[in-house]
Structure 1
Amino acid sequence: EQQAAFGHSKVGAGKSVQVEFVSANPTGPLHVGHGRGAAYGAVVSNLLDTLGYEVHREYYVNDAGRQMHILAASVWLRYLDLAGETIVFPSNGYQGDYVWDIAATLHREQGDKFRHPAETIFADMVADEPAGGDKELHIDALIERAQNLLGDDLYREVFDEGLNTIVENIRKDLTQFGVKFDQWFSERRLMDSNALNDCIERLRAADRLYEKDGALWFRSTDFGDEKDRVVRRENGQTTYFASDIAYHLNKLERVDEAIDIWGADHHGYVPRVKAAITAMGEDPERLGVLLIQFAVLYKGGEKLAMSTRSGQFVTLRELREEVGSDAARFFYVMRRHDQHLDFDLDLATTKSNENPVYYIQYAHARICSVLRQAKEKGIANNAANLSRLIEPQENDLITQLAKYPEQVEKAGLNREPHRIAQYLRELATLFHTYYNAHHFLIDDTELRDARLNLCRATQIVTQNGLKLLDVSAPEKM
Structure 2
Amino acid sequence: MTPADLADLLRATASKVLVERGLDAAVLPEQVTVERPRNPEHGDYATNVALQIGKKAGANSRDLAGWLAEALTAADGIETAEVAGPGFLNIRLAKDAQGAIVRQVLEAGAGYGTGAALQGRNINLEFVSANPTGPVHLGGTRWAAVGDALGRILAAQGAQVVREYYFNDHGAQIDRFARSLVASATGQPTPEDGYAGEYIGEIAQQIVANHPQAPELPQDERVELFRAEGVELMFAQIKQSLHEFGTDFDVYFNESALFDSGAVDRAVTKLKDSGDLYEKDGAWWMASSEYGDEKDRVVIKSDGHAAYVAGDIAYYQDKRRRGFDLCIYMLGADHHGYIGRLKAIAATSGEDPATVEVLIGQMVNLVKDGVAVRMSKRAGTVVTLEDLVEAIGVDASRYVLVRSSVNASIDIDLGLWTKQSNENPVYYVQYAHARTCAVGRNAADFGFDGVAPDFGLLTADEEGALIRTIGEYPAVLAGAANLREPHRVARYLEELAGAYHRFQTNKTLRILPQGDDPVTSVNAARLELVAATRQVLANGLALLGVGAPERM
Task: Kindly provide the amino acid, as one letter, of the partner of residue 463 in structure 1.
Answer: A
Aligned to 1:465: 540
Distance (whole Å) between structure 2 residues aligned to residue 242 and residue 215 of structure 1: 12
Cα offsets for 1:32-87 (capped at 9, x unmatched) = 22111111101110000100101100000000021011000100111111xxxxx2
Superposed displacement of residue 382, structure 1: 5.2
Contact 1:95 1:309 in 2 (8 A): no
Aligned to 1:449: 524
Aligned to 1:385: 454
Task: Kindly provide the amino acid, as one letter, of the partner of residue 362 in structure 1.
Answer: Y
Superposed displacement of residue 206, structure 1: 1.0
Cα offsets for 1:398-434 (capped at 9, x unmatched) = 1101101010000011111111111100111111111
Superposed displacement of residue 306, structure 1: 6.2
More contact order relative to length (CA 8 Å, sep ≥ 6): 1
Say if 1:447 and 1:229 are closer, same or farther in 2 by CA, change over 3 A: same
* 1:232-381 matched pairs, under 5 angstroms: 232-254=300-322, 255-305=324-374, 311-380=380-449
Distance (whole Å) between structure 2 residues aligned to residue 343 and residue 380 of structure 1: 47
Equivalent of 1:115 in 216, 220, 228: 216
Superposed displacement of residue 250, structure 1: 1.1
Q: Does 1:16 align with 2:87?
A: no
Aligned to 1:187: 255
Superposed displacement of residue 176, structure 1: 0.6
Cα offsets for 1:71-126 (capped at 9, x unmatched) = 00100111111xxxxx243222101111111111122232233327xxxxxxxxxx
Contact 2:342 2:356 in 1 (8 A): no
* 1:29-108 matched pairs, under 5 angstroms: 29-81=135-187, 87-108=188-209
Cα offsets for 1:286-315 (capped at 9, x unmatched) = 111010111111111111226899732222
Task: Kindly provide the amino acid, as one letter, of the partner of residue 273 in structure 1.
Answer: L
Distance (whole Å) between structure 2 residues aligned to residue 472 and residue 227 of structure 1: 46
Superposed displacement of residue 154, structure 1: 4.4
Distance (whole Å) between structure 2 residues aligned to residue 79 and residue 401 of structure 1: 59
Distance (whole Å) between structure 1 residues aligned to residue 510 and residue 247 of structure 2: 40
Task: Kindly provide the amino acid, as one letter, of the partner of residue 358 in structure 2.
Answer: V
Contact 1:29 1:169 in 2 (8 A): yes
Contact 2:134 2:379 in 1 (8 A): no
Distance (whole Å) between structure 1 residues aligned to residue 134 and residue 162 of structure 2: 25
Distance (whole Å) between structure 2 residues aligned to residue 190 and residue 381 of structure 1: 65
TM-score scaled by structure 2?
0.77
Say if 1:78 and 1:340 are closer, same or farther in 2 by CA, change over 3 A: same
Aligned to 1:166: 234
Task: Kindly provide the amino acid, as one letter, of the partner of residue 68 in structure 1.
Answer: I
- Alpha-carbon RMSD across the aligned residues, in angstroms, is 1.7
Instruction: Please give the secondary structure, in 2, of the residue aligned with 1:157.
Output: helix
Distance (whole Å) between structure 1 residues aligned to residue 223 and residue 478 of structure 2: 51
Q: Name the larger-Rg structure.
A: 2
Q: Does 1:423 align with 2:523?
A: no
Instruction: Please give the secondary structure, in 1, of the residue aligned with 2:327.
Output: strand
Superposed displacement of residue 329, structure 1: 0.7
Contact 1:61 1:184 in 2 (8 A): yes
Say if 1:467 and 1:163 are closer, same or farther in 2 by CA, change over 3 A: same
Instruction: Please give the secondary structure, in 1, of the residue aligned with 2:238.
Output: helix
My pick for the range that moved more, 442-451 or 394-403, is 442-451
Instruction: Please give the secondary structure, in 2, of the residue aligned with 1:59.
Output: strand
Contact 1:57 1:181 in 2 (8 A): yes
Q: How many residues align?
A: 439
Distance (whole Å) between structure 1 residues aligned to residue 189 and residue 280 of structure 2: 38
Aligned to 1:84: none
Say if 1:15 and 1:306 are closer, same or farther in 2 by CA, change over 3 A: farther
Distance (whole Å) between structure 1 residues aligned to residue 269 and residue 299 of structure 2: 11
Q: Does 1:439 align with 2:510?
A: yes
Aligned to 2:20: none
Say if 1:29 and 1:278 are closer, same or farther in 2 by CA, change over 3 A: same
Instruction: Please give the secondary structure, in 2, of the residue aligned with 1:313.
Output: coil
Aligned to 1:131: none
Give unpaired runs (5+ residues) of structure 2: 1-106
